Structure 1
Amino acid sequence: MTTTARADIHVDASRDRLWQALTDPATIERFLFGSRVETDWQKDSPVVYHGEWEGQPYEDKGVILDVVAGERLVTSYYSPLSGKPDEPASYQTVSYLLADDADGTLVTITQDGCADDAEAQRMGDNWGTVLQTLKSVVEGD
Structure 2
Amino acid sequence: MTGYEATVSTDVAALPHTVWTALTTPELAGTYMFGATVESTFEPGGAITFAGTWEGRPYEDHGTILDADEPHLLRYTHLSSRGEPETPENRHTLTFTLEEIPDGTRVTLVQDNNPTAEAAEHSRQNWERVLEALRVTAERLGG
TM-score range, shorter chain: over 0.9
Q: Distance in 2 between matches of 1:55 and 1:114?
A: 24
Residue in 1 that maps onto 2:23: 22
Residue in 1 that maps onto 2:134: 134
Residue in 2 that maps onto 1:36: 37
What is the 5 A alignment of 1:67-78? Answer: 67-78=68-79
Q: Distance in 2 between matches of 1:131 and 1:140?
A: 14
Residue in 1 that maps onto 2:64: 63
Q: Distance in 1 between matches of 2:71 and 2:140?
A: 20
After TM superposition, give the deviation of residue 13 of structure 1 in Å: 0.1
Letter in 2 for 1:25: P
Residue in 2 that maps onto 1:109: 109
Alignment deviations for residues 89-130 of structure 1 (CA, whole Å, 9 cap, x no partner): 211100111001122000011100000110111101100000
CA contact (8 A) 2:26 2:40 kept: no
Q: Which ranges of structure 1 fall in alignment gaps of 5 or more residues? A: none
Q: How many residues align?
A: 140
Q: Which ranges of structure 2 fall in alignment gaps of 5 or more residues? A: none
After TM superposition, give the deviation of residue 37 of structure 1 in Å: 1.1
Greater mean deviation of Cα atoms: 58-67 or 88-97: 88-97
Residue in 2 that maps onto 1:92: 92
Q: Distance in 1 between matches of 2:102 and 2:140?
A: 19
RMSD between aligned alpha carbons? Answer: 1.2
Letter in 2 for 1:28: A
User: Once superposed, which parts of structure 1, at least 4 consecutive aligned residues long, lie more than 6 Å away?
Assistant: none
% of aligned pairs identical?
A: 32
Letter in 1 for 2:67: D
Alignment deviations for residues 58-108 of structure 1 (CA, whole Å, 9 cap, x no partner): 000000011101001100110022x42122321110011100112200001
Q: Secondary structure at the match of 1:62?
A: strand
Q: Distance in 1 between matches of 2:79 and 2:95?
A: 14
Q: Secondary structure at the match of 2:130?
A: helix
Letter in 1 for 2:55: E
